[in-house]
Structure 1
Amino acid sequence: MTIMSAREFNRDVSAAKRAAGDAPVVITDRGEPAFVLLSIEEYRRIGERGIDLVERLSMDDDLDIEFEPVRIELQAPEL
């Protein structure tokens, strides 16, 4: 993902378009994310098909993330 300021975007729109061909481009306004520039293919993939929440949150199978949940014991307070 590429991040560029609104000033950088206005100065070089072509660079933003090239970067959006590879991954979404976040455009910031006063240092805060304000807009996202996507290729039409990416927009269609996430928007027009109506991808469900599970698919949006799913991760690529080639990612190897270790996760060890911690078991906690909770007790209700006595009244």
Structure 2
Amino acid sequence: MTVTTLTSRELNQDIGRAKKAAKLGPVFITDRGRPAHVLLSIEEYQRLTGGHRSLLDALSMPGMEGIEFDPPKIELKLRIPDFDVD
């Protein structure tokens, strides 16, 4: 596995290079000399996270499965506005 480090500026100037490097291993992206982000291939990400996640899984809140949500019903009535000025 090859580890690559790029500055934010280098990433912005050559995203293709970063994507190619991510196929070989993680790409660390630095801001002001400090690691700030890591770019991974989707395969590596899935390996680390244990597989695919659906959008529903990504948005769910663990531990909240048993809570029911029943919002109150509201009744909307349409009114015709009165634009007459007295």
Instruction: Name the TM-score, length of structure 1 as normaliser.
Output: 0.60
CA distance in 1, matches of 2:15, 2:50: 25
Shift of 1:48: 3.4
Give the counterpart of 2:9 among 7, 29, 35. 7
In structure 2, stretches of 5+ residues that fail to align are: 52-86
Q: What's 2:24 paired with?
A: 22
Larger Rg: 2
Instruction: Name the TM-score, length of structure 2 as normaliser.
Output: 0.55
Deviation string, structure 1 residues 27-72 (Cα, Å, up to 9, x no partner): 00000000000000000000134xxxxxxxxxxxxxxxxxxxxxxx
The structure in which a higher percent of residues are helix is 1
Give runs of aligned pairs for residues 27-66 of structure 1, distance below 5 A. Answer: 27-49=29-51
Give aligned-pair identity as a percent: 55
CA distance in 2, matches of 1:19, 1:35: 14
* Structural RMSD (CA): 0.8
Aligned residues between the structures: 49
Segments of 4+ moved more than 6 angstroms:
none
In structure 1, stretches of 5+ residues that fail to align are: 50-79
